[in-house]
């Protein structure tokens, strides 16, 4: 890692722990900063805070006292999930204290190039694909996954060398806290409306995503979804070299789908049907990953081999197993209607039993009617099951079954399926009405599938 001096003897407040805050505090302490950590969880229930205290880092837990900011901090490193209207964050802004997220620290110390991936949907799959492509048949160094994918960027950046690459998934929350951050390649998978409870307006959300390219120049590459008119318009405002991808148009300067074949700059890469994951959205993810990989000089043979053998990341249209010739797919990460619509695009509806439902955020689901048309059956659970049942009726689905949760939905789905069918968990809702996370929901689904196999 680069031994930067800018934080020596500087007073830094790390607000919020979790993985990223813990990693940032450790790194700043290593860089010679005078670190104070503030976390809401009580000390006796806070192993991370206890660990930091043992390292000699000052820790304040159990509340977020505003008077902390009387101490003349030069910098706040904020957990991305903490909103800017948080009283401590708002006060720091009013005092003109620089507020960063730990991805900025990772950039400052990294010895290797960074590929940054953002977007509303497809970030994790695209990030994973790019990591696999860069590591396929690699002769030296390694591509490390980092960021929103679950590996704190400031931790990963401490162990890389100049032979390596960091492939970093980046949320809008993280991108609001960058300053000098400059990836060599940035990827924007798509932009839809999301996280308005955090950002306030769609314009704010788009601006946060678009910030990924703000420090790039013509020697850097911005890979963007050319099927989005909005991204086409935004592309006029960047200094980076644009590399587009499209599943709808032929692009001589980018990656595209034509007649069932994936191309990069008129060069045939592979058949779309050879991709190890289904769906139009995964074709788009693959095109974005191919563009990034080709810019990094990865061979066509390596790309084809890696993408053929890639069968998805956990909870994202993940193939689980087959039971009596019924294939089970876990798409628990589908926490909005668009994600479910995209997942369904990879299947023949008359051979699909869909499991859906979850937290009621007050929205309806009529936008799913076209995607629901022709489904063999829907098994609905959670707070939104009645709303989704109304949508299913409008889509003229004959078999609509209401149940308690994912665990009870699985055997019902099996009962209403036949050999050759796919049973897809793609909830179109957040999990928090019944499960602490979409990961737990997906795990419960897979456990229920395993129980079927035991019968």
- What pLDDT, on a 0 to 100 scale, did the predictor assign at position 286? 98
- What pLDDT, on a 0 to 100 scale, did the predictor assign at position 143? 98
Around Cβ 184, how many Cβ atoms within 10 Å? 19
Specify binding-site residues for ATP: 119-125
Q: What's the average model confidence in pLDDT over 60-65? A: 96
- What pLDDT, on a 0 to 100 scale, did the predictor assign at position 361? 86
- What pLDDT, on a 0 to 100 scale, did the predictor assign at position 314? 81
Around Cβ 94, how many Cβ atoms within 10 Å? 9
Instruction: Give 346-397 pLDDT, tens digit per residue.
Output: 899 999 999 999 999 888 999 999 999 999 999 999 999 999 999 999 999 9
Banded pLDDT at 91 (limits 50, 70, 90): very high
According to DSSP, residue 351 is labeled G
Q: What's the average model confidence in pLDDT over 13-37? A: 96
Instruction: Give 289-337 pLDDT, tens digit per residue.
Output: 999 999 999 999 999 999 999 988 888 888 899 999 999 999 999 998 9
Least confident of 193-197, 227-231, 417-421: 193-197
Q: Which CATH architecture has domain 104-308?
A: 3-Layer(aba) Sandwich (3.40)
Do 384 and 316 form a contact (C-beta atoms < 8 A)?
no
CATH topology (fold) of 11-100 = Rossmann fold (3.40.50)
Q: What percent of the chain has pLDDT over 70?
A: 100
Specify binding-site residues: 119-125
Q: What percent of the chain has pLDDT over 90?
A: 90
Do 14 and 28 form a contact (C-beta atoms < 8 A)?
yes
**Domain boundaries, given as residue ranges, for the chain:** 11-100, 104-308, 318-449
Q: Is the pLDDT of residue 271 over 90?
A: yes
- What pLDDT, on a 0 to 100 scale, did the predictor assign at position 280? 87
Instruction: Give 161-198 pLDDT, tens digit per residue.
Output: 999 999 999 999 999 999 999 999 999 999 987 777 78
- What pLDDT, on a 0 to 100 scale, did the predictor assign at position 262? 98
Q: Which of 217, 215, 227, 148 is nearest to 181 (CA)?
A: 215
- What pLDDT, on a 0 to 100 scale, did the predictor assign at position 67? 96
CA 286/CA 303 separation, integer angstroms: 10
- What pLDDT, on a 0 to 100 scale, did the predictor assign at position 277? 87
Q: What's the average model confidence in pLDDT over 91-114? A: 97
Banded pLDDT at 448 (limits 50, 70, 90): very high
Q: Is the pLDDT of residue 242 over 90?
A: yes
Those residues with Cβ within 8 angstroms of residue 125's Cβ, 6 or more apart along the chain or in another chain:
277, 282, 285, 312, 313, 316
Q: What's the average model confidence in pLDDT over 75-92? A: 95
Do 134 and 143 form a contact (C-beta atoms < 8 A)?
yes
Q: Which of 173, 145, 152, 144 is nearest to 18 (CA)?
A: 152
Phi-psi domain of 294 (left: phi exceeds 0; alpha: psi -120 through 50; beta: other): alpha
Task: For domain 318-449, give the CATH number.
Answer: 3.90.190.20
């Amino acid at each position: 890692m680069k031994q930067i001096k800018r934080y020596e003897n500087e007073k830094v407040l790390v607000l919020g722990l979790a993985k990223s805050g813990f990693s940032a505090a450790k790194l700043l302490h290593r860089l010679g900063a005078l670190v104070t950590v503030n976390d809401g969880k009580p000390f006796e229930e806070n192993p991370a805070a206890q660990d930091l205290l043992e390292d000699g880092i000052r820790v304040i837990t159990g509340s977020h006292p505003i008077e902390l900011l009387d101490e003349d901090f030069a910098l706040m490193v904020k957990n991305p999930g903490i909103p800017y209207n948080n009283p401590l964050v708002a006060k720091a802004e009013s005092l003109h204290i620089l507020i960063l997220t730990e991805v900025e620290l990772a950039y400052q110390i990294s010895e290797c190039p960074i590929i940054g991936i953002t977007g509303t949907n497809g970030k994790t799959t695209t990030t994973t694909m790019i990591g696999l492509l860069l590591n396929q048949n690699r002769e030296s160094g390694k591509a490390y996954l980092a960021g929103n994918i679950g590996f704190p960027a400031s931790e990963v950046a401490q162990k890389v060398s100049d032979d390596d690459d960091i492939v970093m998934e980046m949320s809008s929350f993280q991108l609001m806290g960058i300053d000098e951050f400059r990836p060599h390649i940035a990827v924007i998978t798509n932009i839809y409306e999301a996280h308005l409870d955090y950002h306030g307006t769609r314009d704010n959300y788009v601006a946060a995503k678009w910030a990924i390219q703000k420090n790039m120049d013509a020697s850097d590459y911005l890979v963007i979804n050319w099927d989005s008119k909005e991204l086409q318009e935004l592309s006029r405002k960047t200094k980076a070299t644009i590399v587009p991808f499209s599943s709808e148009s032929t692009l001589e300067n980018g990656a595209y789908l034509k007649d069932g074949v994936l191309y990069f700059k008129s060069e045939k890469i592979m058949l779309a049907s050879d991709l190890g994951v289904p769906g139009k959205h995964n074709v788009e993810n693959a095109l974005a990953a191919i563009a990034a990989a080709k810019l990094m000089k990865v061979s066509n043979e390596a790309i084809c081999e890696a993408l053929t053998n890639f069968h998805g990341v956990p909870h994202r249209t993940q193939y689980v197993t087959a039971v009596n010739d019924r294939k089970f797919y876990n798409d628990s990460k589908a926490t909005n209607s668009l994600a479910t619509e995209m997942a369904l695009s990879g299947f023949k509806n008359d051979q699909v039993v869909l499991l859906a439902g979850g937290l009621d955020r007050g929205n309806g689901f009529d936008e799913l009617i076209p995607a629901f048309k022709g489904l063999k059956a829907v098994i609905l659970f959670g707070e939104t099951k009645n709303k989704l049942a109304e949508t299913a009726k409008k889509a003229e689905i004959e078999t609509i079954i209401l149940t308690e949760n994912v665990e009870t939905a699985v055997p019902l789905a099996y009962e209403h399926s036949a050999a050759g069918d796919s049973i897809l968990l793609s909830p179109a809702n957040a999990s928090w009405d019944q499960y602490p996370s979409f990961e737990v929901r997906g795990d419960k689904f897979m456990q229920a599938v395993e129980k079927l196999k035991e019968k």
